[in-house]
Amino acid sequence: MSSAPSEVFNDTTAPVALRGDLLDFIDTPAWGAVDSPAVRFRPDHWLLIRGGRICGVQAEPPQGHWTLQDHRGRLIMPGFVDTHVHMPQLDVIASYGTELLDWLNTYTFPAETRFADPGRSRAGAELFCDALLANGTTSAVVFATAHKVSADALFTAARQRGMRLITGKVLQDRHSPDGLRDDVVQAERDCIDLIDRWHGTDRLSYAVTVRFAPTSSPEQLAMAGALCAADATLYMQTHVAENRAEVEWVKQLFPQARSYLDVYARNHLLHARSVLAHGIWIDDADRAALQRSGAQIAHSPSSNLFLGSGLFDWRAAGDAGVAVSLASDVGGGTSLSPFRTMGDAYKVQAMAGQRLTAWCALHAATLGSAKALRLDHEIGSLEVGRMADVCVWDWAADPVAHRRMEVARGLHERAFAWMTLADDRNLVQAWVAGALRHQRAGV
């Protein structure tokens, strides 16, 4: 079970050594390459952790005062990074029968309104962070709600667990129900207060969080852009070009903009720390603008399939030099599991006649996401000096998966089968900054 906030599984200063098959990346894998020099696989090695960081990797057991954990035959990887996910939407996951705009009005907005209550925000944030860890996700870029208290609760829960988390109060001052709308002046005050209190505290960062262009007035978008311009270390997160009806609505609301993405660019919201979810209905000019700015697309395939939004062209984005990371987008998506996200990403690309390798998918959920967030000095790999955000996995969790592993040929075939068949049952341990934060019962 995941830890309660006050519970300590492991002293982060105590040296720990984990034995297992170490898998991470040292570069970006080429599209379609199943044999890639970007992959680093070190079978049956020891990962040494001291003071919350990775301090060594070696084939021999370490000498001296180490707590040794023998996970021989198991896979050890960096914790996964989810670059777009909604904390309050666990309440509406697996809701039936609507596309994006109806889904927001029918399910999402009523659920998020309840997070004005501090107790609801606190309970929701704690459930959410524990659920991330139980799926092997140790870092995330997260939407709270329009209520300042929801962002406070999320920052608090993540800090108690030592997680690398990026979030912010959602900005939405129009086309939203009572109890969820803010206003420009108060929203700016709330953002500044949250930035002062949380941005740069421990492993937390603030994201100026525009829900999406239709729910922010031109004045609010300008305010959000001014916040980003005032501090280049702030992140920005929003949605772009997810659904065709949404794109048409944006055209009506912002006729002066060349495209949906251009609405953000005109308001100084497109920069190197911008995380834009979806990006399905974009064109070559948009891709060029994304590449120039250094912004990333948080690809959310499970959500795109479930809501019928469309099929993201990963290959076109990559060819244009646009960073693509992976995201669950719960509750539009159907699971916090990175495996579900990667499996659906494979299916989306297959529909376009492309084949997403395990290496491209796993890289996008680890080092690729870390690089896109400008955090690869801290997370995303098993490099010495990185924070010890590490997960231990079983290669197989049921008889079918065990049999598949027995007949798999080569590392990529094995990794692809694991990525496709695994779920939370495969997770043995999740370590965050050298502290054990989740452990499977019976281990």
- What CATH number has the domain bearing residue 99? 3.20.20.140
Task: Please give the structure tokens belonging to residue 420.
Answer: 């496709």
Where in the sequence is the domain holding 101, given as residue range(s)?
80-336
Q: What is the pLDDT of residues 253-262, one digit of tens each?
A: 999 999 999 9
Per-residue pLDDT averaged across 340-352, rounded?
97
Residue 296, number of CB atoms within 10 A of its CB: 27
The verdict on residue 346 lying in a domain is no
**Is there a single domain that holds both residue 99 and residue 182?**
yes
Average pLDDT over residues 59-77: 96
Q: How many domains does the chain have?
A: 2
The pair of structure tokens assigned to 219 is: 């004045």
Predicted pLDDT at 98:
87
228 and 210 in one domain?
yes
Q: Are residues 327 and 390 in the same domain?
A: no
Res 443: pLDDT? 83
Whether 86 and 161 share a structural domain = yes
200 lies in the same domain as 317: yes
Examine the pLDDT at 69 and tell me if it is beyond 70: yes
- To 5 degrees, how large is the angle CA 237–CA 206–CA 364? 50
Within a domain: 39: yes
Single out the residue in 269, 303, 336 at which a domain terminates.
Answer: 336
Question: Is position 345 within any domain?
Answer: no
Residues 188 and 127 in one domain: yes
Residues 313, 183 share a domain = yes
Structure tokens at 174: 């129009």
Q: Within a domain: residue 154? A: yes
Please state, in angstroms and rounded to a whole number, the distance separating the CA atoms of residues 220 and 206. 17
As given in the structure block, the two tokens for residue 6 are: 């006050």
Q: Which of 2-16, 46-60, 307-321, 362-376 has the lowest mean pLDDT?
A: 2-16
| Mean pLDDT estimate for the chain | 95
| Pair 56, 88 in one domain | no
In this structure, which long-range contacts are made by residues 154-158, counting pairs with CB atoms below 8 Å and at least 24 apart in sequence? 154/87, 154/121, 154/125, 154/128, 154/129, 155/194, 155/197, 155/198, 155/201, 155/204, 156/122, 156/125, 157/5, 157/122, 157/125, 157/126, 157/128, 157/129, 158/125, 158/129, 158/203, 158/204
Q: How confident is the model at residue 143 (pLDDT cuts 50, 70, 90)?
A: very high
Both 319 and 178 in a single domain?
Answer: yes
163, 307: one domain? yes
Residues 277 and 175 reside in one and the same domain: yes
Position 6 pLDDT exceeds 70: no
Q: Indicate if 50 and 89 belong to the same structural domain.
A: no
24 domain-assigned: yes
Q: What is the pLDDT of residue 266?
A: 98
Flag whether 317 is in a domain: yes
| In-domain check, residue 312 | yes
